[in-house]
Amino acid sequence: MTAPVTAFVALGANLGDAARTLRGAFAALAALPQTTLLRQSSLYRTAPVDSSGPDYLNAVAAIATTLPPLALLQALQSIEQAAGRERPYRNAPRTLDLDLLLYGDTRIDLPELTVPHPRMEARAFVLVPLAEIAPERVPAALLAAVAGQAITRLADR
């Protein structure tokens, strides 16, 4: 049996009841085969980055999984589709967005998947919740570099 890998998934939503959608996405991650939800961050409110529409709610989940990276990606896309995700154009407002940020220490460079996520180090809405649940994965210099991006931690998970 393959040893589980710790992977980190970014969650975001800015259409409909985003908080409810993110809570449902945490549950869906926990229900994936060969996967255990290890930790989940608080929810954070952020303005859209390279996007439009209402403010986003964002979070990060840590999972232990034996799913291979592409199978995990397909599972994440299935969760998005179940939440009504549509992709009418790049960076469109969305009911749910799930991005595979890290898959252990594995580097992946495929047309359909790049890990570590190529834009995660420039986005407070990824780094701040990631630092909440895995501070060892986020160097202080990266947090300092995004300190000017507005992000608000919500009191309720």
Q: Which of 23, 45, 55, 85 is catalytic?
A: 85
Query: From the candidates 99, 107, 119, 123, which is the catalytic residue?
Result: 99
> Active site includes 137?
no
Do 101 and 137 contact (CB within 8 A), yes or no? no
Among this protein's residues, is 123 annotated catalytic?
no
Task: Quickly tell me which residue has 């990824």 as its tokens.
Answer: 126
Kindly write down the DSSP assignment for every residue of 70-123, as one continuous string: HHHHHHHHHHHHHTT---SSTT---S-EEEEEEETT--EEETTEEES-TTGGG-
8 A C-beta contact, residue 58 and residue 66:
no
Q: Could you tell me which of 74, 60, 40, 34 has the C-alpha nearest to residue 128?
A: 60
Q: E strand or H helix at 29, and its extent? A: helix 18-30
Residue from 17, 55, 87, 94 carrying the catalytic annotation? 94
- Is 97 a known active-site residue? yes
* Beta-bridge partners for 113: 110
Catalytic residue among 55, 87, 97, 119: 97
Query: Residues 4, 64, 73, 77: what is their CA dihedral angle, to the nearest 10 degrees?
Result: 150
Catalytic residue ranges: 85, 94, 97, 99
